[in-house]
Amino acid sequence: MADTFILSGTYSTNPTQGNPSAVPSLSAPIDERLQLDNKTVQYFDLTSDAPVAVQFPSGFAANLLIVKTEGGKVRVRITSSDGTTQAIPVDKFLVLFTESVDITAVDLTRELGVEVLVNVFMGDQAL
């Protein structure tokens, strides 16, 4: 039975002080949905400087990746069916939808000597 993943809310930006003339404010709604066949949640306590592979269940190809960090930055390396590994710095929060391309591998590397807690959610898009 498939799940429906929903990411909803808003994002906005406003001046930090007062309401200065001609400084734009922005607010935009978010309403993204993806039907999932499977999902996995994994937790990591990065206590070593070596890359740590995120495990993919058998037959699983991710089309949704969410990474949440606490305590520092991680480098998330992603390989997809488009090809080579891409490195993305994540210092707090990453959401990646890839409906047309499967993510086939993910690993995490912390900054040297900095312990980081990482939560990884992955979803496999229903066809």
Query: What is the pLDDT at residue 1?
Result: 65
Q: Do 122 and 54 meet the contact criterion of CB atoms below 8 Å apart? A: yes
Q: What is the DSSP letter of 65?
A: E
* 115 pLDDT tier (thresholds 50, 70, 90): very high
Cα separation, 26 vs 123, whole angstroms: 30
Q: Taking residues 68-84, what's their average pLDDT?
A: 94
Res 21 pLDDT > 80: no
Q: Kindly report the pTM of this predicted structure.
A: 0.90
Task: Give Cα separations from 69 to 6, 31, 38, 43, 77 (angstroms).
Answer: 21, 23, 23, 10, 15
- Count of beta carbons in the 10 Å neighbourhood of residue 62: 26
Question: How is the chain split into domains, by residue range?
Answer: 36-125
Per CATH, is 36-125 categorized as 3.40.50.300? no
Confidence of residue 81 (pLDDT cuts 50, 70, 90): confident
Q: Average pLDDT over the chain, rounded to whole?
A: 93
